[in-house]
Structure 1
Amino acid sequence: MPDAVLKLDPLRAWRFVAGKVSGLGAVTSPPYDVLEPAIVRRLTDSDLHNMVRLILPRDPDLGPSRYDEPARRLVGWQRDGIVVQDEQPALYVYEQRLRGAVLCGLVGSLRLDPARRVVLPHEDVMPHWVDDRLRLMEATDADLEPILLAYADGGVASDAVDAARAGEPWLEAETYNGAEHRIWRIDDPVTLAEIETELAKHEAVIADGHHRYAAYLERQLRAPYRPSADVGLAMLVDYVRHPLTLDPIHRVVPGLELATVQARTPPGWQLQPGRVEGDPNRISVTDGSSWLTLHSASDAPAVTLLHEVLLSSWGAVEQDITFHHTLDDALALAGPQRAAVELTAPEMDQVLRSAAQGVVLPQKATSFGPKPRVGLLFRTL
C-alpha cells in the first residue's frame, strides 16, 4: 500500500451570484450541528436561498424522502443561475474576522484517508448523524459544508495563504453577526505545486466535521468507481500561524436529578455545592436552580470521564442526551428531572496527543472555532 500523504486538490467551487440574492452574507449559515431553532428561523427568513434550506432538511416524519427537497432546490438554483461554478480549478484562501477572532486557511478537495494515517479524527461519531449527512450528500450529489482540519507549521503553504491575502479578494461578504468574510483564489501552477509538496510532509487533525468526514468515507466505500468520491470538501488551517479556539460542548441529561448525582457519583470524586469556577477539569451539574461541582484527580479530559465513568454510574441513557454549544442553551432546558452538565474544554495537547495515538474522545467532545461559514463555497461531484 502506498504511503498516505496529506493532499488538498484544487476544485471548481460553486458560489452564489451576488445580483441574484439579497446579499452574499444573507444566504450563508453556520454548520448544521450548531443551529438552534431561533437561528434557523432567522436564517430561513433572511433570504429564500439561505443555505439552511439545503443543509437542514425539515419534516423528519417524511423519512428518507425529506432529502429530496434540498436536492430539487439545489438543482433549481443551478438552473436559474442563483449559484454558478468557477470556470477554473483553484485552492481558495478563506478568511473570517469577527471581534478580533480570525479564521484563515485553504479550502479544497481533501484526499480521504480511511487508514487514519494523515487525516486524524479526535472524537467519536454518532451513527445516526453520519447516516443523516450521507443521505444529504447522496441526494444532492454535493459537499455543502467544508470540514475543518488543523495542522502545524505550514511553511510555504502558509506563506502562500498570506501572500494571497495581500491581494484583492475574489469574494467578500458580511454576515448578520458582524463577521467579515473574504476569499482569494490560488491557481498558479507553481504555487499549487509548492503547496502540494509542503502538505505532503504533514498530518492533520479533524477539528470540526467528524460526522461529515465519516460520511465521506462511507460514500467512498459505496462508490469506489467515482474518482470524485475519493475527496471531500475541507478547510485546512495552520493553527500555529492562525490559532483556533477550543471550547466545550455541554450536555442535557433527561431523567437525571441532582440527588442522583450526589448519591451515585463513584468514590474518589470531590463534590462541592455550587458552581465552582477556576478548576480547569471540573464538571458542574445543575437542575436550573442548584449546582453541584465534581472534580477527579484523573488527568483525563472531563468529557472522557463523564462518558466513561459518570453517566453509567448515574444510570443515564446516553441516546437521550442532547448537546449544546452554549451554556445558556443547555441551562434553558434544565429542570428538576433534566440536569444540565457544564464541561470544560480539553487542552489542545490532549486532543492532538489522543489523535496521534489513534485514541478518540467521546462524541461532541470539543468545539473548535471559528467555524467556516456555510454557503460561500461548496462542491458538487
Structure 2
Amino acid sequence: MAIIKPFRGILYNPQKVNPHDVMCPPYDIISEELRESLYEKSPYNVVRIDYGKNSKEEDKYTLARKYLESWLKEGILIQDKHPCFYGYEIEYSYKNKAKKLRGVIGLIKLEELGKGVYPHEQTYAKPKADRLNLMKSCMANTSIIFSIYRSKKRITSQIIENQSSPFIQARDLNGNIHKLYRICSDTDINAIVEDFREKPIFIADGHHRYEVALEFKREMSALYPNQKDAAWNYVLMFLSNIEDDGYLILPTHRMVSTSMPIREALKANENLFDITEVSPSEDLLDIIEQMGPCHFGLYINSKAYILRYKGPVPEHLPEELRKLDVTILEEVILQRIFPKREVCYDIDIERGLRMIREGKCDALFLLRATDVEDIERVALAGLRMPPKSTYFYPKLLTGMIINSFRENL
C-alpha cells in the first residue's frame, strides 16, 4: 500500500552547534512562554523556522525561509549527499519504567487519505493554514509526521536495532534522549522499501501536516502537471512498528466551562449514568483504567466522582465509533447535556485541577487511554474520532531532520 523512499536529509551539524540547544518540541504544544525561552536558548534553535515570530519588517514565514537558507550557507545545517533512511530512537521513562521508541524516517508518497495512509482524528482549519504558509515559504517539510504500522516480521525494526553509532543525539525538555542514525546501505534501503510495500499506515500525530502536504501537492501539480515524481509528491514521516510496543497512547482529558450546574445536570440524566463519589485522594485515572470501558472520572470543585455510562449505544453513529469512551464523552455527555460549553484539553490532571481551583474551568472529565486496535479499526473504516482522542508519547523533536523540495541546495 505505502510507497516509501530514502532522501537527502537536512541535519544540524554537531560540529557547529550543541544539539540539545537547537531542537524544539512539535509546534502544537509550544506555548508563547516556551517559544520565548527557545529563542533565548540558541540563535540557531529550529523554533525560528518551524514556529517563529513576525518581526517589524517581515512575517514569520519569510523569516523562516531566510533562516533555513542562511543556516545552510553557514554550515549550521548540512544536507546529506546521498539518499538515506534514518533510524530514530528515543530513550524515555514513564512511571519509573524505562522504554525505547524506535522507528524509521523516510519519505512517503502522498495519497488521498484512506488509500494506504489512514487518519483517525478530526482536524481544525486554522493550524492547517499556518502549516501551508510555512511549507510554501520554505519549500520543505520542517517537522516530522508520527505514524504507526504493523509488521510481525519486524524487518525494518531489526535494521534500526542493529544501528550502533548515532549521527546526532539530543535531550528534550523532559530529559528523554533522542538519537538519529543514517541508514545508507543499498541492502538495508531495499529491505525497508519492500517491508512497507503492503503495509497500511496510520497517522498518529500530524494529521494537519499530512492534509497540508496533500493540499500543497495539489497546488504544485496544477502548476507543474508533468512533474509526476516531483519532491512535493512525498512527505516526511516517522514510522514506528506497533509490534515493537515502543510508544504510549495517553488520554487527553477535558476541562469544561459552562453556565450550567454540572452536578445537577448529570443528576437530571441519571438514567444514563451511575454517579459514585470517591475520595479526592484516590487515583481516579487508575480506578477508571481498571474498571474498563464506559467509565469516566470527574472532578467538580474539591469533589471527585466516577461516572459509569449505562445508557443506550449512540445508534446514530457508525458501529466502529459507538462504544469508544471518547465518543460517549463527546457525543452523549458534553454535546447532549452541556450544549453551551467551552472545552480545553490536557494530559496533565494536576494542571486541570489547578484550573478548577483558580476558577478557570468548572469541571475536569478524565478519559481512559484509547487502544491502538481501536485506532486501526476506526481508521480502516474510513472514520475519524473526535479531536484530541489520542496523545502519542514521547513526542518527536523538531529539528532532528528536515526534508527540502529543492533538488540542489
Q: TM-score range by the shorter chain?
A: 0.7 to 0.9
State which of 58, 65, 69 in structure 1 corresponds to 2:63.
Answer: 69
TM-score by length of 1: 0.88
Between the aligned partners of 1:218 and 1:41, the Cα distance in structure 2 is 31
- Greater Rg over alpha carbons, structure: 2
SS in 2 for 1:235: strand
Partners in 2 of 1:37 and 1:146 — Cα distance? 21
User: Counterpart of 1:302 in structure 2: which amino acid?
Assistant: D
Question: 1:139-164, CA deviations, whole angstroms, 9 ceiling, x for partnerless residues?
Answer: 2222111111111125322232223x
Does 2:155 align with 1:156?
Answer: yes
5 Å-filtered alignment, 1:1-381, equals: 5-21=1-17, 23-58=18-53, 65-99=59-93, 100-153=98-151, 154-163=153-162, 165=163, 167-224=164-221, 225=224, 227-255=230-258, 257-259=261-263, 261-263=265-267, 265=269, 267-274=271-278, 276=284, 277-280=286-289, 281=293, 282-297=295-310, 300-316=323-339, 320-334=342-356, 335=359, 338-381=362-405
Give the conservation status (yes or no) of the 8 Å contact 1:107–1:235. yes
* Deviation of 1:328 (Å): 2.7
Task: Among all aligned residue pairs of Structure 1 and Structure 2, give the percentage whose two residues are the same amino acid.
Answer: 24
The 2-side partners of 1:220 and 1:266 are apart by 51
Cα offset for 1:351?
1.5
d(CA) in 1 for partners of 2:369, 2:4: 29
Residues 85, 178 of structure 1: alpha-carbon distance in 2 compared, 3 angstrom cutoff: same
CA contact (8 A) 2:114 2:380 kept: no
- Give the count of matched residue pairs: 371
Q: In 2, Cα distance between the equivalents of 1:328 and 1:221?
A: 44
Deviation at 1:195, TM superposition (A): 1.5
CA change 1:243–1:284 in 2 (3 A) is same
Q: TM-score, normalised by structure 2?
A: 0.82
**Separation in structure 2 between the aligned mates of residue 36 and residue 264 of structure 1, nearest angstrom:** 38
Give the structure 1 partner of residue 318 of structure 2: none
Is contact 1:34–1:325 with CA below 8 Å preserved after alignment?
Answer: no
Question: 2:316: which partner in 1?
Answer: none
Q: Which amino acid aligns with 1:279?
A: I
Deviates most, 167-176 or 137-146: 167-176
Verify the 8 A CA contact 1:119 1:206 in the aligned structure 2: yes
Structure 1: runs of 5 or more not aligned? none
CA RMSD of aligned residues (A): 2.6
Task: Tell me if structure 2 keeps the 8 A contact 1:258–1:292.
Answer: no
List per-residue Cα deviations over 1:292-317 (Å, max 9, x = no partner): 43221467222111222222223345
Q: For residues 264-299 of structure 1, give each alpha carbon's deviation from its aligned partner in whole angstroms, at most 9, with x where no partner exists.
A: 657322222346451234333334433343221467
- Say if 1:265 and 1:310, in contact at 8 Å, map to a contact too: no
* Per-residue deviation, 1:129: 1.8
Give the whole-Å Cα distance in 1 for the aligned partners of 2:377 and 2:325.
16
Give secondary structure in 2 for the equivalent of 1:251: strand
- In the alignment, the residues of structure 2 paired with residue 312 and residue 176 of structure 1 have an alpha-carbon distance, to the nearest angstrom, of 36
